[in-house]
Amino acid sequence: MLEIHWGLPVIIYLFLGGLGAGAGVVSASVFLRSHAGDASEGAFDIARWGALIAPIPVIAGTGALVFELGSFAVGDMFRWINLFLTINLSPMSLGSWFLALFIGVSLCYAYTFLKSDAHSGDKHQAFRKMLAWVMVPLGIGVALYTGILLGAMPARPFWNSPILAMLFLISALSTGVASILLVRCVAHALGHKKADEYTGEGAQGTEESKYILAATDMLLISFEVLVVFLFIMYAHLTIGGVENAIDVILGGSLTSLFWFGFVVIGLIIPILIEMKYVLPRLLRQEHYSIPHAVELAACMLVIVGGFMLRYVVVIAGQLTGPVGI
């Protein structure tokens, strides 16, 4: 029987690291594409929530990873620092530096949005714009490297796929969007007036920014479904261990978790919900309005699906290896 060496701490890190990186990339991208927040109040609001969210899950996930790497025995508590003492082109080394840089930059980026009167054109605008340009490649790097790290292990056939990094990236962006929507939804539920005062936007700006996020998430989930299909097709077209390893989610022990926990709960149901409310606005220019309970449920399903993806991938890779190389 194969032994599971990487458990919940690693899974939590992969999930939270991707979510935080995704929120940061979405925030910075929206901020830059809206001409540094000048195009609309809704765009500045999206950038603000994403910036405030981004560093928190990445720091928490990195803490879980440090806990996993260190034995915490006397004289061995800081073994994880060795990751920064050797600089090379390995995924582990590059990923460690991406993490460290992302945490530092995202904290500074969040600081520029922290005050309640933060707005486009304030004294932090130039610094905020510079940090946003850095946040995009750093966030993409953090989200990508986790999939590259796993894919660089040919002895674990389930992980040995070039599609895995892209799947993790799109999932990170999708859960990042969902986290922004979720926090905004909770803020609205706690008090619509207070939320609007804090974000500096009115009801029209609120609905417009919610539509932008929901439409973006719908598009990301569509891409994610396509990448899942490519991931499975690549495995079947590859000769050897990868083709056999994919059976763990196609009739094996993790089939239900993958197809129901990730595909159905995390992809199919949320995209159907979002299509119901986004398509009328997209196709017929109707007013976008989604009940808060439905919006909250869709966001939570996307986030749960993102966690289930990491859980299945990490466990499946250990159940289907190692093999000789």
Query: What is 8-319's CATH number?
Result: 1.20.1630.10
Q: What letter does residue 264 receive in the DSSP assignment?
A: I
For residue 175, what are its two tokens?
């859960």
Q: Are 311 and 254 in contact (CB under 8 A)?
A: no
Query: Would you say 181 and 299 are in contact if contact means Cβ atoms under 8 Å apart?
Result: yes
User: At which residue do the structure tokens 């803020």 appear?
Assistant: 187
Sign of CA dihedral 199, 205, 210, 213: negative
What are the pLDDT tens digits along the chain (325 aa)? Answer: 456 777 888 899 999 999 999 999 999 999 998 876 555 667 888 899 999 999 999 999 988 887 776 655 555 656 666 666 666 666 777 778 888 899 999 999 999 999 888 888 888 899 999 999 999 999 999 998 888 888 777 777 888 888 899 999 999 999 999 999 999 888 877 765 444 444 444 555 567 778 889 999 999 999 999 999 998 888 877 655 666 678 888 888 889 999 999 999 999 999 999 999 999 988 888 888 888 889 999 999 999 999 999 999 999 888 876 654 4
Cα–Cα distances in angstroms (integers) from residue 191 to residues 146, 187, 188, 199, in the given order: 38, 7, 5, 12
Q: What pTM did the predictor assign?
A: 0.87
The DSSP code sequence of 174-232 is HHHHHHHHHHHHHHHHH-HHHHHHHHT--HHHHHHHHHHHHHHHHHHHHHHHHHHHHHH
Cis peptide upstream of residue 157 (ω within 30 degrees of 0): no
Please state, in angstroms and rounded to a whole number, the distance separating the CA atoms of residues 135 and 28.
Answer: 6
Quick count: other Cβ atoms within 10 Å of Cβ 204?
11
